[in-house]
A and B are shown apart, each in its own frame.
Chain A
Amino acid sequence: MAPNQGARQTSDAGVLLSAEDLSRVISRIAHEIVEKTSGFDSVVLMGIHKRGYPLAKRIADRINQIDNQKVSVGALDITLHRDDLRMRPPRPLEQTDLPVAGIDGSLVVLVDDVLYSGRTIRAGLDALSELGRPAAVQLAVLIDRGHRELPIRADYVGKNVPTSTGQSVKVRLIETDGVDEVVLSVAGKA
Chain B
Amino acid sequence: MKHLLSTHDLSKENALNILDTARMLSDVSDRTIRKLPTLRGRTVVNLFYEDSTRTRISFEAAAKRLSADVINFSAKGSSVSKGESLKDTALTLKAMGADAIVMRHHASGAAHILANSGWIDATVVNAGDGLHEHPTQALLDAYTIRHHLRANEGDLSGVRVAIVGDILHSRVARSNIWLLNTLGAHVTVVAPPTLLPVAVNSLPVEVSYDLDSVLGKVDAVMMLRIQHERMHDAYFPSIREYASRYGLDKGRVQLLPQGSIVMHPGPMNRGIEISAEVADGENSVIVEQVSNGVNVRMAVLYLLLGGAIEGEEKQ
* A positions within 8 Å CB-CB of B: 77, 80-81, 85-96, 126, 130-131
What 1/0 mask marks residues of chain B from 98 to 130 whose CB sits below 8 Å from any chain A CB? 000000000000000000000000000000000
Chain A neighbourhood of B312, CB < 8 A:
86
Chain B neighbourhood of A126, CB < 8 A:
37
Q: B308 within 8 Å of A by Cβ? A: yes
Chain A neighbourhood of B314, CB < 8 A:
87
Contact residues of A: prevailing secondary structure: loop
Contacts A/B (CB < 8 Å), 16 sampled: A77-B24, A80-B302, A80-B306, A81-B38, A85-B38, A85-B307, A86-B307, A86-B312, A87-B308, A88-B308, A89-B307, A90-B302, A90-B306, A91-B307, A95-B27, A130-B31
Shortest Cβ gap from A180 to chain B (Å): 28
Chain A neighbourhood of B308, CB < 8 A:
86-89
Q: B35 within 8 Å of A by Cβ? A: yes
Shortest Cβ gap from B308 to chain A (Å): 5
Task: Knowing that A90-B307, A126-B37 touch, tell me 12 more A-B residue pairs with CB under 8 angstroms.
Answer: A81-B37, A85-B306, A86-B309, A87-B315, A88-B307, A89-B307, A90-B302, A92-B21, A93-B20, A93-B21, A130-B31, A130-B33
Chain A neighbourhood of B306, CB < 8 A:
80, 85, 90
Report which residue of A80, A81, A95 has the largest number of chain B beta carbons within 10 angstroms of its beta carbon: A80
Shortest Cβ gap from B251 to chain A (Å): 42
Q: B239 within 8 Å of A by Cβ? A: no
Q: B157 within 8 Å of A by Cβ? A: no
Give Cα distance in the complex from A86 to B33, angstroms.
24
